[in-house]
């Protein structure tokens, strides 16, 4: 089968109060559908949590207009820590979430009226995409971008996650990683200088090299129609030495903690990453002696997950979903391993998941 990437499943964000944060993301940006909302233990993440198992409460919230979700994540065993410095544009790691909208002007007005911190007016990115910036109540920067037709019409003016902006120290090394591992083989733009659309951001008046990467082949798989096409912007500061956003902190501390991709073919991906020099650093279900991966329970869902680090240590997560619940109350689920890997789930079923998640 090979490796198949369906899209960005979610962007993880560490917050001090998960329920209050989710309330804000529901109200302002329409992330209304909880795929899970539960406490638990991050038992596989000891490498990034001080060598100890830490407890947490997490909500995976979707926006049914399409795009990736948000995994809103709070430590319950410790106080999550902020970075020890003020993050500047181009610092190393994920520092901007990119979220889509069908009506950029209406969303700009909505954000102003909802009390969100609006950082800029509407301006075009180097690709000519109308966009503007806001921050959530915890200082995490979000870029809202005008896109096309939503997967499903909802009252929200905003849709889901369509990518992120990632600070890198060596663009050539990072381009290789994101091309070879994640299939972002299309350069939408590659420009250097000072940029009008960054001026409102901390340190955004400096000089940068910016590369926007897309994928030339459409994504496939069960959730590909819901998750939709995505792109990643890599940015390298040219005026100063960047700092690592999570250099002295735990995964799960405050800020954008990882970018997660929905995939099929975890065993093949394990081999690909190792061959390219980026071995899994976390692996929930390593292959058994018989060469078959196990299954990790994720509430009513099941599957496996793994992490790799990009050349600057930014965490990229992979999730291979084996089973998803259709109705928790009735005990109904779908085993995705019994379907053709490349075949998208029917739109009606995905829209039913929206109703079921809210009802259950």
Q: What is the CATH number of the domain that holds 24?
A: 3.10.180.10
pLDDT digits (tens, 9 = 90+) for 17-57: 999 999 999 999 999 998 888 899 999 999 999 999 999 99
Query: Total domain count for the chain?
Result: 1
Q: Which of 5-14, 149-158, 329-338, 340-349 has the highest mean pLDDT?
A: 5-14
Average pLDDT over residues 122-144: 97
pLDDT at 289 over 50: no
The whole domain housing 156 covers: 4-321+328-359
pLDDT surpasses 60 at 175 = yes
Output the pTM of the full model: 0.93
Mean pLDDT in the chain? 91
> What's the average model confidence in pLDDT over 193-203?
97
- 3-state secondary structure labels for all residues of the chain: CCCEEEEEEEEEEECCCHHHHHHHHHHHHCCCEEEEEEEEECCCCHHHCCCCCCEEEEEEEECCCCCEEEEEEEECCCCCCCCCCCCCCCCEEEEEEEEEECCHHHHHHHHHHCCCEECCCCEECCCCCEEEEEECCCCCEEEEEECCCCCCCCCCCEEEEEEEEEECCCHHHHHHHHHHCCCCCEEEEEEEECCHHHCCCCCCCCCEEEEEEECCCCCCCCCHHHHCCCEEEEEEECCCCCCECCCCCCCCCCEEEEEEEEEECHHHHHHHHHHCCCCCCEECCCCCCCCCCCCEEECCEEEEEEEEECCCCCEEEEEEEEEEEEECCCCEEEEHHHCCCCCCCCHHHHHHHHHHHHHC
pLDDT confidence band for 278 (50 / 70 / 90)? very high
Name the more confident of 100 and 151: 100
Mean of pLDDT values over 251-261: 98
């Amino acid at each position: 089968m090979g490796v198949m990437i369906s899209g960005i499943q979610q962007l993880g964000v560490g917050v001090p109060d998960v329920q209050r944060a989710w309330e804000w993301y529901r109200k302002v940006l329409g992330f209304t559908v909880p795929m899970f909302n539960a406490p638990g233990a991050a038992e596989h993440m000891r490498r990034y949590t001080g060598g100890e198992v830490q407890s947490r409460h997490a909500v995976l919230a979707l926006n049914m207009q399409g795009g990736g979700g948000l995994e809103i994540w709070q430590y319950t065993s410790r106080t999550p820590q902020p970075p020890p410095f003020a993050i500047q544009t181009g610092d190393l790691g994920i520092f901007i979430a990119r979220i889509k909208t069908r009506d950029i002007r209406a969303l700009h007005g909505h954000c102003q009226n909802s009390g969100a911190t609006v950082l800029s007016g509407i301006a075009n990115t180097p690709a000519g995409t109308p966009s503007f910036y806001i921050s959530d109540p915890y200082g995490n920067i979000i870029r809202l971008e005008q896109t096309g037709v939503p997967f499903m019409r909802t009252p929200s003016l905003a849709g889901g996650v369509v990518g992120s902006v990632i600070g890198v120290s060596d663009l050539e090394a990072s381009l290789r990683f994101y091309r070879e591992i994640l299939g972002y083989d299309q350069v939408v733009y590659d420009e250097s200088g000072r940029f009008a659309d960054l001026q409102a951001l901390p340190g955004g008046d400096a000089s940068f090299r910016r590369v926007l990467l897309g994928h030339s082949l459409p994504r496939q798989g069960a959730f590909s129609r819901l998750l939709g096409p995505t792109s990643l912007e890599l940015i390298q500061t040219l005026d100063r030495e960047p700092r690592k956003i999570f250099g002295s902190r735990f995964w799960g501390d405050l800020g954008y903690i990882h970018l997660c991709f929905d995939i099929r073919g975890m065993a093949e991906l394990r081999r690909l990453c190792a061959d390219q020099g980026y071995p899994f650093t976390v692996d929930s279900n390593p292959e058994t002696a018989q060469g078959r991966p196990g299954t990790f329970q994720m509430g009513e869902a099941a599957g496996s997950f793994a992490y790799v680090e990009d050349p600057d240590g930014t965490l990229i997560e992979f999730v291979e979903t084996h089973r998803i619940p259709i109705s928790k109350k009735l005990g109904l689920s779908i085993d995705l391993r019994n379907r053709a890997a490349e075949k998208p789930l029917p739109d009606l079923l995905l829209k039913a998941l929206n109703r079921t998640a809210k009802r259950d």
